[in-house]
Structure 1
Amino acid sequence: MTEQTTTTTNNSPANVEVDISYENDSSYGDELSSYTASLTSSVLDYRHENGRRYHKFRDGSYLLPNDESESDRLDMLHELALQVLQRKLYLAPIKSPQRVIDLATGTGIWAIDFADQQPQAEVIGCDLSPTQPTLVPPNVKFLVDDIESEWAYEHNPFDFIHARNLFISIRDYGKLIKQCYRSVKPGGWVEFQDWDLSPVSPDDSLDGTGFQRYYDELQNAFEEAGYEVSPGPKLEQWFIDAGFVNIHMEKFLIPYGAWPKDRHLKKLGAWNQAQAEANGFEAGALAVLTRYKQWTKEEVILLASQARADGRKRNIHALFNFYVIYGQRPEN
């Protein structure tokens, strides 16, 4: 008999002890052939705006940049996720998968690492932007595709489907997860790793700060634009609704900054701060606030700088919740 269970960590914001000796250091810082036709000039003719570069294929459906600075930041987020999961790329109990896809692969770093670990697997990474490297393991291929469009994988389904950090980029998670269900083999697994973008604090130290205002403005703008801002807490229900079984979820606390006393949390916080300070504040806010809320570039830069400055203060203790959930398509 299959079962649906949920496993969560015991951590809560109130349980994260502040390191009172902390001094912030700002230095912390195939069917593929059918898709190749997508690699046309419209894909590579990027949109340039406010000093940043954005995808052109399905222009405007993703509101974060795809330039080199953003690629570097995404790779830092990859390292942060590895730190959270104790150097694991995934938690699902997969065994010798033959066919795998990484949704919205970004720089392709997860797909490349997975292909190195699982050389028997054919690994596909798909994204709106062809910004992945060309020197990759022989079992990796990248394609340009919009994962929110209808898929065509049901006739050749996957053993494992992986997605990470899709927050503020997907309008209909329920539909996407149902597409995953249809495109994974009976007995296969799907895993999503995603965030709750609302920061919390163990001591209410975020109240009235520029850091809190940044996330309030960001969430309001993305929600008005029709995007899911904080998918993490909702993933379990979407998996249940899609028909998955053997669902397991874990929730991880990730600080912002190296203020926790616990050494592991301190390291996570330092990595989180480093990726945000690598133009992360600007990357998240520029397009959505200027395109949808009529902010000027200068206003966005000021908002980002205020968030960055408050994030560096020793007496501000922000935490985010990061969720990892996996589920299995029933064998029958």
Structure 2
Amino acid sequence: MEDDIAVDPDYYILNEDHSPEDFNSETTSLASEISKGRIENGRRYQSMKENDYWSPADEQQFESLENGHILCLVLDHHQKNPLHRAPISSSPKHILDIGTGRGSWVIDMADSYPSATVRGVDIFPPPVSWMPPNCVFEVDDILREWTWRKPFDYIHIRILLGAFDDAGWSLAYDRCYKGLEPGGWIEQVEFDINLHSEDGSLKPEHHLSSWGKNMIACGQRAGRPLTTQSTMKAAIEKAGFVDVHEHVYKVPLGPWAKNDLLKEAGRVNYLVWTSGLEGYAMWLLTKFGAPEPWTKEEVHVFLASVRKELSDPSIHAYQYVRRVWARKPTEEDSKAKGETKTPEVDIKVEK
């Protein structure tokens, strides 16, 4: 079963309405050695392996992730629980968040579902000083063999563009499939880094117009695809999940939309970009820029131009955000179809 992707045409009309002032637990496992990280171009990166992840793990990037968390809550504020779309039970027991970042989603879910142990796992520890007693943070690589003893009712993934290569994503979804209870749900939210405009205000000569194409090309050269939002649905289906749903949001970049909700979403999205811009670009451009890797100074000059465009109220840019959720089949599903699941095959990933 599949939801219609088309959004309410009246709700998502991106008319402009701008003014310049619009811009004005069980246990806690935190690895202190990893938290030290490594420093490149003035930004801190996790330290498990140099090529583990292209995005920094420092306070500036955590600010961008927090803004991303708030943006998702704004977009789904009308849902019964804006933290997820998957129809999980009212009293789940075990929940996992992969790529937990700052940990805000995990903390909010632990508050929402006191019956559950909510685990957040990442390759670097989140900067948290307090958490609910049913909240657990762990530093680990989810591509390694999972050692959790209890299967999960629900697994959540968000903003992990570039986290893995194609084989890594296949392995990640396979791990999720095996780690879920029959009938359990997986849900993923990813942002499209390409920008668009409906009124022609985003012109070909703008840096924002070519931003997505440039970053995607760097990601391809790095072996870290930045197009996950367009491939995750098919990959989740391929892993064996059923009852797959998809919802696409149209999110303004900046507070130029007339609709109050979209104006607020655009304002928050502007903060996502301005707080995360350097972190998105620095590693990719200094290592995989074309025609040759850029210098740190060249990146800073480029980003100054991008920031100027971001603050230009005459540019009415928007991007897509995609949410996919799907269920692990039960024995009843297989019996109803007269099928059995294809035997699972181990997937090897180049380290």
TM-score (normalizing by structure 2): 0.85
What's 2:161 paired with? 167
Aligned-partner Cα distance in 2 for 1:238–1:303: 34
Q: Is the contact between residue 126 and residue 144 of structure 1 (CA under 8 Å) also seen in structure 2? A: yes
> What is the one-letter code of the residue matched to 1:159?
D
User: What's the CA shift for 1:88?
Assistant: 0.5
User: What's the CA shift for 1:291?
Assistant: 2.2
What's 2:123 paired with? 128
Give structure 2 stretches of 5+ with no counterpart: 332-351
Mean Cα displacement is larger for which, 169-178 or 295-304?
169-178
> What is the one-letter code of the residue matched to 1:127?
D
- The yes-or-no answer on 1:296 pairing with 2:295 is yes
What's 1:138 paired with? 133
Aligned-partner Cα distance in 1 for 2:126–2:9: 37
Q: Is the contact between residue 167 and residue 231 of structure 1 (CA under 8 Å) also seen in structure 2? A: yes
- The yes-or-no answer on 1:115 pairing with 2:115 is no
Which residue, out of 40, 51, 68, partners 1:77? 68
Aligned-partner Cα distance in 2 for 1:217–1:122: 41
Deviation beyond 4 Å, 4+ runs, structure 1? 30-33
What's 2:341 paired with? none
Aligned-partner Cα distance in 2 for 1:233–1:60: 23
Q: Is the contact between residue 214 and residue 303 of structure 1 (CA under 8 Å) also seen in structure 2? A: no
Give structure 1 stretches of 5+ with no counterpart: none
> What is the one-letter code of the residue matched to 1:162?
H
RMSD: 2.3
Aligned-partner Cα distance in 2 for 1:90–1:76: 17
Distance 1:295 1:16, change over 3 A: same
Which residue, out of 199, 213, 223, partners 2:195? 199
Question: Identity of paired residues, percent?
Answer: 31
User: What's the CA shift for 1:11?
Assistant: 5.4
CA-to-partner distance for each residue in 1:219-266, whole Å, 9 max, x for gaps? Answer: 211121111212122222112111111111111111101111222111
Distance 1:143 1:275, change over 3 A: same
- Any idea what SS the aligned residue of 2:219 has? helix
- Any idea what SS the aligned residue of 1:240 has? helix
- The yes-or-no answer on 1:46 pairing with 2:37 is yes
Aligned-partner Cα distance in 2 for 1:201–1:149: 41
- Any idea what SS the aligned residue of 2:192 has? strand
- Any idea what SS the aligned residue of 1:198 has? coil
What's 1:242 paired with? 239
Aligned-partner Cα distance in 1 for 2:186–2:27: 21
Which residue, out of 176, 190, 203, partners 1:180? 176
Which residue, out of 250, 254, 265, partners 1:268? 265
Aligned-partner Cα distance in 1 for 2:31–2:268: 34
Aligned-partner Cα distance in 2 for 1:219–1:11: 29
User: What's the CA shift for 1:26?
Assistant: 6.5
What's 1:310 paired with? 309
What's 2:87 paired with? 93
Aligned-partner Cα distance in 2 for 1:11–1:251: 11
- The yes-or-no answer on 1:212 pairing with 2:204 is no
Which residue, out of 144, 153, 157, partners 2:151? 157
- Any idea what SS the aligned residue of 1:247 has? strand
- Any idea what SS the aligned residue of 1:78 has? helix
Aligned-partner Cα distance in 1 for 2:302–2:196: 19
